[in-house]
Amino acid sequence: MRPRLATLAIATFAAVLLLGGCGSDDDGGSGGSGGEGGDSDAPVELSGEVNDEGTEDATGSDTLELEAGDFYFGPTFIKATPGSTLTLTVANEGDTNHTFTVDDQDIDTDVEPGASADVDVTVPDDGNVSFYCRFHIGQGMQGAVFTGSGASSGSGGGDDTPDTGGGGTPGY
Protein backbone atom coordinates (compact mmCIF):
# COMPACT_ATOMS: atom_id res chain seq x y z
CA MET A 1 0.00 0.00 0.00
CA ARG A 2 2.82 2.41 0.81
CA PRO A 3 4.48 2.20 -2.63
CA ARG A 4 1.13 3.03 -4.22
CA LEU A 5 0.72 6.05 -1.90
CA ALA A 6 4.25 7.25 -2.68
CA THR A 7 3.60 6.91 -6.42
CA LEU A 8 0.36 8.88 -6.08
CA ALA A 9 2.13 11.61 -4.09
CA ILE A 10 4.90 11.90 -6.68
CA ALA A 11 2.40 12.04 -9.56
CA THR A 12 0.37 14.71 -7.76
CA PHE A 13 3.50 16.79 -7.08
CA ALA A 14 4.59 16.54 -10.74
CA ALA A 15 1.14 17.60 -11.93
CA VAL A 16 1.15 20.63 -9.61
CA LEU A 17 4.57 21.69 -10.92
CA LEU A 18 3.51 21.21 -14.52
CA LEU A 19 0.20 23.05 -14.16
CA GLY A 20 1.72 25.81 -12.05
CA GLY A 21 3.61 27.05 -15.11
CA CYS A 22 0.36 27.32 -17.08
CA GLY A 23 -1.26 29.99 -14.92
CA SER A 24 -1.43 33.66 -15.79
CA ASP A 25 0.68 36.18 -13.93
CA ASP A 26 -1.17 39.08 -15.52
CA ASP A 27 -1.68 41.78 -12.93
CA GLY A 28 -4.12 43.67 -15.10
CA GLY A 29 -1.37 45.96 -16.42
CA SER A 30 -0.53 46.59 -20.03
CA GLY A 31 2.30 44.16 -20.25
CA GLY A 32 4.30 41.32 -18.83
CA SER A 33 7.41 39.46 -19.59
CA GLY A 34 7.93 38.99 -23.27
CA GLY A 35 10.30 36.10 -22.59
CA GLU A 36 13.14 35.21 -24.89
CA GLY A 37 13.11 37.25 -28.07
CA GLY A 38 10.29 39.50 -26.95
CA ASP A 39 6.53 39.35 -27.21
CA SER A 40 4.98 38.27 -30.51
CA ASP A 41 2.79 41.42 -30.37
CA ALA A 42 5.84 43.66 -29.94
CA PRO A 43 6.57 45.96 -32.91
CA VAL A 44 10.33 45.34 -32.62
CA GLU A 45 12.07 42.06 -31.88
CA LEU A 46 14.83 42.41 -29.28
CA SER A 47 17.19 39.67 -28.16
CA GLY A 48 16.81 38.30 -24.65
CA GLU A 49 13.98 38.86 -22.24
CA VAL A 50 11.80 41.96 -22.65
CA ASN A 51 9.35 43.20 -20.02
CA ASP A 52 6.78 44.65 -22.40
CA GLU A 53 4.86 47.61 -20.95
CA GLY A 54 3.25 48.59 -24.22
CA THR A 55 3.80 50.83 -27.23
CA GLU A 56 3.24 54.56 -27.60
CA ASP A 57 2.97 56.50 -30.84
CA ALA A 58 5.04 59.69 -30.53
CA THR A 59 5.06 60.53 -34.24
CA GLY A 60 4.67 64.27 -34.71
CA SER A 61 5.91 64.94 -31.18
CA ASP A 62 9.42 65.83 -30.05
CA THR A 63 9.02 64.87 -26.35
CA LEU A 64 7.80 61.87 -24.38
CA GLU A 65 7.91 60.77 -20.73
CA LEU A 66 9.42 57.32 -20.28
CA GLU A 67 8.90 55.54 -16.97
CA ALA A 68 11.81 53.50 -15.66
CA GLY A 69 10.45 51.05 -13.09
CA ASP A 70 11.78 47.92 -11.49
CA PHE A 71 12.55 46.27 -14.10
CA TYR A 72 10.90 47.76 -17.18
CA PHE A 73 10.55 50.84 -19.34
CA GLY A 74 7.03 52.11 -19.97
CA PRO A 75 6.27 52.42 -22.73
CA THR A 76 8.70 49.74 -23.87
CA PHE A 77 8.32 50.56 -27.56
CA ILE A 78 8.06 54.09 -28.98
CA LYS A 79 7.03 54.84 -32.56
CA ALA A 80 8.66 58.11 -33.65
CA THR A 81 9.03 60.34 -36.69
CA PRO A 82 11.89 59.15 -38.94
CA GLY A 83 14.95 61.43 -38.88
CA SER A 84 13.74 63.43 -35.87
CA THR A 85 15.23 64.01 -32.44
CA LEU A 86 13.03 62.77 -29.62
CA THR A 87 13.62 64.13 -26.11
CA LEU A 88 12.74 61.47 -23.56
CA THR A 89 12.19 62.45 -19.95
CA VAL A 90 13.25 59.27 -18.16
CA ALA A 91 11.51 59.19 -14.77
CA ASN A 92 12.79 56.58 -12.33
CA GLU A 93 9.67 55.33 -10.53
CA GLY A 94 11.54 52.35 -9.13
CA ASP A 95 13.37 51.65 -5.90
CA THR A 96 16.82 51.18 -7.41
CA ASN A 97 19.17 53.09 -9.72
CA HIS A 98 18.60 52.68 -13.44
CA THR A 99 20.30 53.85 -16.61
CA PHE A 100 19.01 54.82 -20.02
CA THR A 101 21.65 53.52 -22.41
CA VAL A 102 21.91 53.64 -26.21
CA ASP A 103 25.29 52.31 -27.33
CA ASP A 104 25.21 53.60 -30.93
CA GLN A 105 24.48 57.16 -29.78
CA ASP A 106 26.87 57.27 -26.81
CA ILE A 107 23.99 57.77 -24.37
CA ASP A 108 24.47 56.37 -20.88
CA THR A 109 22.50 58.37 -18.32
CA ASP A 110 22.14 57.33 -14.66
CA VAL A 111 18.76 58.04 -13.04
CA GLU A 112 18.40 57.66 -9.28
CA PRO A 113 15.10 56.57 -7.66
CA GLY A 114 12.60 59.44 -7.66
CA ALA A 115 14.66 61.49 -10.13
CA SER A 116 14.31 62.13 -13.84
CA ALA A 117 16.65 63.01 -16.68
CA ASP A 118 16.18 64.28 -20.24
CA VAL A 119 17.92 62.42 -23.06
CA ASP A 120 17.89 63.22 -26.77
CA VAL A 121 17.53 60.20 -29.04
CA THR A 122 18.15 60.54 -32.76
CA VAL A 123 15.47 58.54 -34.56
CA PRO A 124 16.82 56.72 -37.64
CA ASP A 125 15.30 57.29 -41.09
CA ASP A 126 14.36 53.62 -41.09
CA GLY A 127 14.53 50.85 -38.49
CA ASN A 128 14.99 51.26 -34.78
CA VAL A 129 17.22 52.26 -31.89
CA SER A 130 17.41 49.88 -28.95
CA PHE A 131 17.78 51.16 -25.40
CA TYR A 132 18.31 49.38 -22.09
CA CYS A 133 19.24 49.72 -18.43
CA ARG A 134 22.88 48.76 -17.95
CA PHE A 135 22.10 47.28 -14.52
CA HIS A 136 18.97 45.31 -15.40
CA ILE A 137 19.03 44.24 -19.05
CA GLY A 138 19.34 40.65 -17.83
CA GLN A 139 15.99 41.11 -16.10
CA GLY A 140 14.32 42.31 -19.32
CA MET A 141 14.71 46.09 -18.90
CA GLN A 142 15.06 47.12 -22.53
CA GLY A 143 13.02 48.65 -25.34
CA ALA A 144 13.23 50.44 -28.67
CA VAL A 145 12.38 53.61 -30.56
CA PHE A 146 11.22 52.59 -34.03
CA THR A 147 9.84 53.98 -37.28
CA GLY A 148 7.18 52.56 -39.58
CA SER A 149 5.26 49.51 -38.48
CA GLY A 150 8.22 48.04 -36.63
CA ALA A 151 11.17 45.88 -37.51
CA SER A 152 13.53 43.36 -36.03
CA SER A 153 16.45 44.72 -34.08
CA GLY A 154 18.70 43.92 -37.02
CA SER A 155 17.10 46.30 -39.51
CA GLY A 156 17.83 49.94 -40.09
CA GLY A 157 19.29 51.09 -36.79
CA GLY A 158 21.09 47.82 -36.31
CA ASP A 159 21.14 45.51 -33.33
CA ASP A 160 22.65 47.69 -30.67
CA THR A 161 21.43 45.48 -27.82
CA PRO A 162 24.61 44.62 -25.94
CA ASP A 163 25.79 41.12 -25.21
CA THR A 164 25.88 41.03 -21.43
CA GLY A 165 26.28 37.30 -21.17
CA GLY A 166 22.84 37.05 -19.56
CA GLY A 167 24.01 39.36 -16.83
CA GLY A 168 22.94 42.55 -15.27
CA THR A 169 24.11 43.36 -11.81
CA PRO A 170 23.52 40.47 -9.34
CA GLY A 171 21.09 41.28 -6.58
CA TYR A 172 19.15 43.93 -8.47
Q: Would the pTM count as exceeding 0.85?
A: no
Close Cβ partners of 118 (under 8 Å, ≥ 6 residues apart):
87, 88, 89, 90
pLDDT per residue as tens, the chain (172 positions): 555 545 544 554 444 333 343 333 333 333 444 444 444 589 999 999 999 999 999 999 999 999 999 999 999 999 999 999 999 999 999 999 999 999 999 999 999 999 999 999 999 999 999 999 999 999 999 999 999 855 444 333 344 444 444 444 444 4
Could you tell me what percentage of the chain is helix, strand and coil, using 3-state DSSP and rounding each to the nearest 5?
15, 35, 50
Domain assignment present for 164: no
Range of the domain at 113: 32-152
CB-CB contact of 39 with 145 (8 Å): no
* Strand arrangement of the beta sheet that strand 85-92 belongs to: 32-36, 49-52, 72-74, 63-69, 85-92, 116-122
**Is residue 4 helix, strand or coil?**
helix
Provide the number of structural domains found in the chain.
Answer: 1
Domain assignment present for 172: no
CB-CB contact of 111 with 100 (8 Å): yes
pLDDT at 2: 56
Domain assignment present for 22: no
Domain assignment present for 7: no
Domain assignment present for 63: yes
pLDDT at 135: 97
Domain assignment present for 44: yes
CB-CB contact of 51 with 71 (8 Å): yes
Domain assignment present for 24: no
**Is residue 65 helix, strand or coil?**
strand
CATH number of domain containing 78: 2.60.40.420
Domain assignment present for 157: no
